[in-house]
Chains A and B, each alone.
Chain A
Amino acid sequence: MTYRRFAVTLMVLTVALVLLAVACLVFGSVDIPVDRIVDIFTGKGSGNKAWDIIILQSRIPMIATAALAGAALSISGLLLQTTFNNPLAGPSILGVSSGAGLGVAIVILALGGSLGGLLGENVGSYMAILVGALMGAGVVLAVLIAFSAIVRSNTMLLIIGILVSYLTSSVVQLLNSVATEEGVHNYVSWGFGNFSGVSVAQMPIYAGIIILALIGSALMVKPLNALLLGTRYARNLGINVSMTRNILLLITGILTAVVTAFCGPIGFIGLVVPHIARMSLGTSNHARLVPATILAGADIALLCALASVSNPHGIIPINAITPIIGVPIILYIIINRRRIQYFN
């Protein structure tokens, strides 16, 4: 019975993924006839060099970037929610994204450049930025682990995450005050969130890291399910809790850092999508939750990407769209928390 629901949900999410990807391919600031797009795919070419470039080097990488970013952030959110036993945890609300952002800012300044020119084609420089993002996310996660041992309250941990975000953004502002004007401008526009930042050349690294980390998360379903019962029961089930927690947070850190470095600090997706997956599946069993979260995350990110190019006068920043989708869902969850199974 529940298996049927799982199969149907996965099918719906997959169909939605395909439809959204096609929509992102067809709609954009430049109108390209559908038959010409088909021609590009069949190798004939559209006969218009600019269209070929837009489809192959802009829209397709954007679709891949968005889908992977959505999946990555959503899995980060799921792992954080289970690890900290906190349904309102997520990479942005706990400050992991802003930690990664701070790491990016510091590396760019240390490289002697401005805060801008994020992720240029120079492999060395964007690898350094990636490492900076990883370090930043790692530091925030370490702080969260330390505090979670002291403060047992879920709400307090969320507040600490928000404080960390404030702290990192003030450090970034201080850094900005010594950066060039162009650097500040670039940093600000990076902060808007953007799925067009990954070039074809960078795609293998971006996609490779995310896919590996997603596979890693799928291999953790057994300890994740044990953690639903709390640490004492998990230990009683033979789980090495501290090692499991470190692995889960490492995966979270990698996923959040890579997405943040390339796409900016994107809010809400990581917090909301695990709830969408739980509500549509009607379970908190991670064996089903992980694949559904990956697909739903990709769907939501593509929806945001589609919305961002829907404006004929220019691109709408991703971070202007995610709260419009995210806030109503979070409010719905908070209001109905007594009725929703996994809160009880």
Chain B
Amino acid sequence: MKDNNAIYTTHDLAVGYRNGKKEVTLLSDLNLTLEKGKLVALLGRNGAGKSTLLRALTCDERPLSGYIQADGKNLLEMSQKERSRLIGLVSTERIQAGALTVEELVGLGRQPHTGFLGRLDDEDHKIVRQAMTDAGIIDKASDYVASLSDGERQKAMIARALAQQTPIIILDEPTAFLDVASRIETMRLLQTLAHDRGKAVLLSSHDISQSLLLADELWLITTDRQVLTGSTAQLVESGAMDRLFLNKSIHFNNQILDYSF
């Protein structure tokens, strides 16, 4: 499945954590591909290794083995600066930016492209405004980040990643703290970014039914620590959805695209 649209590939990647000298492997032999224009959802139960995998994919943690190729180069050998122009991140990390305006926050996304003092020129301001428009947060441009609702804050963080103008956007649980309406809005926004802007978008999520509906591709972490990939239709047909949870009484219902018990 490696066509020209592939922008990001992992090669025999193994991820986990190091406990002193001991290495604990969570997931191994990963050969995953992100393509431009596609929205990919990473699903798995709690503790399956979603966050660990994402941290390795964004180079926040070194993988235990294997390597990642992004835009034709080895991601692990790139400088921090080069990586910052390839991957935009939206994480669940607490930020201290309540007293910045939305516009200032989104402006921080320009840092990989600005000079030593981080001043924004006219072109940067234009990109920042476009990013806010695309993320649907332009109305709040001069509001303080502290005054935003959770959903608006998530939009602002997505706008920040957009302003970074990276071909790849990786989001760690972008819908975790949102109400249903904001969740749908956020997922739609990410879908649009993939389909209309040609971004390669990867997100991890707890929200299985919505991911099934909106994602172009799924990465499923099964209970036996394998990562199954494919379109929703493929995975649902193959019965892979039943390998997501250990509990035998929870079954995936192909009709309603959700779990029943």
Contacts and interface: CB of A to CB of B under 8 A. Distances in A.
A153 interface: no
A178 to B, nearest CB: 43
Contacts of B84: 236-238
Interface string A215-248: 0000101100110111011011111100000000
Interface residues of A, number: 31
A228 B100 contact: yes
Interface in A249-282: 278, 282
A344 interface: yes
B86 to A, nearest CB: 10
Interface residues of B, number: 35
A114 interface: no
Contacts of A233: 89, 91, 93, 95
Contact of B88 (A1, A2, A236): A236
B146 A222 contact: no
Interface string B213-246: 0000000000000000000000000000000000
Contacts of B97: 228-229, 284
B108 A341 contact: no
Interface in A297-344: 340-344
A111 B206 CA distance: 65
Given A226-B108, A238-B84, A344 B100 contact: no
A232 B91 CA distance: 8
B118 A222 contact: yes
Contacts of A284: 96-100
A228 to B, nearest CB: 5
A343 B89 contact: no
A232 B98 contact: no
Contacts of B109: 237
B83 A238 contact: yes
A285 B100 contact: yes
A85 interface: yes
A196 interface: no
Interface in B113-162: 114, 116-118, 142, 144-147
Interface in A66-88: 82, 85
A229 B94 CA distance: 7
Contact of A221 (B83, B93, B94, B117): B117
Nearest to B170: A236
Contacts of B112: 237-238
Contacts of A285: 99-100, 104
Nearest to B55: A232
A43 B58 CA distance: 66
Contact of A2 (B89, B101, B116, B117): B101
A344 B114 contact: no
A283 B88 CA distance: 25
Interface of B: 58, 60, 80-81, 83-85, 87-89, 91, 93-101, 104, 108-109, 111-112, 114, 116-118, 142, 144-147, 164
17 contacts: A219-B116, A222-B117, A225-B111, A228-B97, A229-B93, A229-B95, A230-B93, A232-B91, A235-B80, A236-B58, A238-B81, A284-B96, A284-B100, A287-B118, A341-B99, A343-B98, A344-B145
Given A219-B117, A342-B99, 19 more contacts: A2-B142, A85-B96, A226-B108, A229-B96, A229-B97, A229-B108, A232-B60, A232-B91, A236-B58, A237-B109, A238-B81, A238-B85, A238-B112, A283-B100, A283-B104, A284-B100, A287-B117, A342-B146, A344-B98
Interface of A: 1-2, 82, 85, 219, 221-222, 225-226, 228-230, 232-233, 235-240, 278, 282-285, 287, 340-344
